[in-house]
Structure 1
Amino acid sequence: MARFRTWDRHRGGFRLAVRYGYRPDTGLGVSETTAAPDGRLLVRERGFTAGFGNTVRLRPADPRHATDVR
C-alpha cells in the first residue's frame, strides 16, 4: 500500500492534511505521481521480474472520491 499525503498552508508554513491509500498491482511499486488539471492523479507503477523484464503502468487515481486513511 502506498500513501499519498496532502499539505495545507498554515500560519506561514504547511501542515499535514488528508492522507490517501493507493494499492498498486502485485509486484509493482509507485515510482512517480503527478497532478492532472481536473484534480486526479496520474500514478506510474513499475517493477521488474527476473526472466520476464520490466513492467510499467500509468493509471489515473481520483483522490476526490477516496477516504482519509489517518
Structure 2
Amino acid sequence: MHYSNKKETSSHYLLGLIHHERALLLKTIEKFGLNSEKTLEASQELDALIVDYQRMTKPASKENIYDFRSFR
C-alpha cells in the first residue's frame, strides 16, 4: 500500500504499534495479573504510544493552549 504523505504513513504505522501493544498488555494482564509491575510497564508503553498518536494527528488549536501568565 502506498501512502501519499509521511504523516499519514507514520500515523498508520503508529496505529499498528498501538494495536500490537494493546494485545501484549492484555496477555500480560492474563499472565501476571492487573496489579503486577509488568502490567504497569506495558500499560505505560501503550499510554505513550497513544499520546504520540494524538499529538501527531490532532494539531494544537488556540482553544487548547493556555497562557499561564494570565493566572498571575
Instruction: Tell me which interval the TM-score lies in, with the shorter structure as reference length.
Output: under 0.3
Q: Higher helix proportion, which one?
A: 2
Higher relative contact order (CA 8 A, sep 6+): 2
Q: Higher strand proportion, which one?
A: 1
* TM-score normalised by structure 1 residue count: 0.21
* TM-score normalised by structure 2 residue count: 0.21
